[in-house]
Chain A
Amino acid sequence: MIDTLRQVETPEGVDLKLPLAGLIPRGLAWSIDLVLRLLGYGVAAVFLAALGEVGTGLYLILLFVGEWFYPVLFEVFNGGATPGKATLGLLVVQDDGTPVGWSSSLLRNLLRFADFLPIAYGFGLTSLLLQRDFKRLGDLAAGTVVVYRPVERRVEALSDEASPLPPPVPLQRQEQLAVVEFAQRRSTWTDGRAQELAQMTGSLVTGSRREKVDQLLGLAAWLQGRR
């Protein structure tokens, strides 16, 4: 499979599909976080400069916390996503799809240093590109993956417009499924494409191109239990 879905089984025995995030969105998220951190350091520098040596001391502490623990704090307290990841709709989860806790988040972000070597995330990129789960070294050690946040992009339920139409001949399971899928995905196609596909059903539906589409929708409504 060329799919970038990671399948995990829940203790209840159903499979969940996690859409994995690859190099580009993760790189973009990282860049956003970098800019935010730099802005933060800049603003802090302006205020702390007024405090002289004490300010410099506090600034170094801020720099330490920012460089090592910025991702950890956000991942733990913000449901697995730094601001950059949240912008891109990404989120860090454990291998089994459950939320990251302190241990996983600490591990993956401490090992960021190893990923960063020898220059510009060299090892991290290599590791990420060599695996089907897009894991950098930190993800390997922590047992985490970066996935897309589940989006509420629902397939529209079948419209009630089509009047239910019993199939002229008994349809096999695969055929029923194809008809129902056709109806469910109808709204994502142009009229021309829908008519073109409807042509391929052979003798199942008859009439003009437009009528064939309508009949298929009617068959789908009937198959789904409407009468």
Chain B
Amino acid sequence: MNRESFRQRRSADWDRLEVLLSGLEDRRLKSVPGGAEIPALYRRACQDLALVRSRSYGRDLEQRLHEIVLRGHRALYRGQRLSWERVGQFVVVEFPRLVRQEHRLVAFCTAFFLLPFVGVGVGVHEQPDLIYWLLGQEQVAEFEAMYADGGNFGRDAESDVLMFGFYIFNNIGIALRTFASGIFLGLGSLFILLFNGLHLGAVSGHLIRVGYGGNFLPFVVGHGAFELTGIVLAGAAGTRLGLSLLRPGHRSRARSLATEARRILPMIVGVALMLLVAAFVEAFWSASSASADLRYGVGALLWLTVFLYFGLVGRDR
């Protein structure tokens, strides 16, 4: 068989495949009539391409077939689409399982966040001047104004929406940056964890010392359940990126990074969802006019929910 007879014999199939692929690439169409023919036609086209190459039938045929095979490959091997079922599966199985699977890393990051937090908190509480090592005078005054009687509280519904937007922009942004900077051997994530631990510890210790604890604690207890755990998990996910480069095991570092990044990705997606919940609670509940006792109660309930969620949800029976 020479080139001409080959082309004549096969080109009808190629034309047909091109038509079908164009239909498939057109996103307005829900289904392509005759779509079931694609796999067989595509595999024949692969065979034809290999033949054209090995027999050197020339550039024009090779380019045409290469383009068809490229398009067919893209159409045939596309990934899973997002569905509600997958989202549900993520929330009730994948995310809590991944956190349990990484419990050692999560524990390490919790310690890395909590120890400076408590240490500086107690230190500032006992040694008032210590806070000025960490925060400027103006910042301290700002925080005091926020939690003084009537400072942040009893605001109107419009301000709630404003704060909701701000918490999303700022807090989820911090979590995503904590994750991303983990690629620098984990140092970026650990630095952000440490920094936030010191900062939050200092502010908490100071506010309690000057007597604003009655305003501050009921405010943070609710959304803290999602926010503090979220930031720690973001740190753990980022540190995992760094560890994949430090301890690649039997894989190359590039392969190790790509594999581990894909495996840990659900963690940071889960964190983003948690912080979305936190932003909602912080904007519309934490600063509401509900009594402190009620907010302590709800806060305790939220903390319990978070622990039960990560402890129990998604286990095999």
Contacts and interface: CB of A to CB of B under 8 A. Distances in A.
A87 interface: no
B262 A143 contact: yes
Contacts, number: 151
Contacts of B164: 57, 61
A68 B262 contact: no
Contacts of B50: 13-14
A103 B74 contact: no
B73 A184 contact: no
Nearest to A180: B58
Interface string A108-141: 0011111001000000000000000000010011
A111 B46 contact: no
A26 B64 CA distance: 27
Interface string B46-64: 1101100100101110011
A54 B161 contact: yes
Interface residues of B, number: 59
A100 B81 CA distance: 11
Interface in B259-313: 261-262, 265, 268-269
Interface string B170-214: 001100110111011000100000000000000000000000000
A155 B59 contact: yes
Interface stretch (B2-10, B136-144, B224-232): B2-10
A54 B158 contact: yes
A142 B162 contact: no
Interface size class of A (residues with CB under 8 A): 35 or more
Contacts of A143: 258, 262
B43 A12 contact: yes
Residue among B4, B165, B172, B177 facing the most chain A CB atoms (10 A cut-off) = B165
Interface of B: 2-5, 25, 42-43, 46-47, 49-50, 53, 56, 58-60, 63-64, 66-67, 69-71, 73-74, 77-80, 82, 158-159, 161-166, 168-169, 172-173, 176-177, 179-181, 183-184, 188, 241, 254, 257-258, 261-262, 265, 268-269
Interface of A: 10-14, 16-17, 52-54, 56-61, 63-64, 67-68, 79, 93, 96-103, 106-107, 110-114, 117, 137, 140-143, 150, 152, 154-158, 173, 176-177, 180-181, 184-185, 224-226
5 tightest A-B contacts by CB? A57-B165, A225-B2, A101-B79, A225-B4, A60-B165
26 contacts: A13-B50, A14-B49, A14-B69, A56-B162, A56-B165, A57-B165, A58-B161, A61-B165, A63-B169, A64-B165, A64-B169, A68-B173, A96-B77, A99-B78, A110-B176, A113-B176, A113-B180, A113-B181, A117-B181, A140-B258, A156-B60, A158-B60, A180-B56, A181-B58, A184-B58, A225-B3
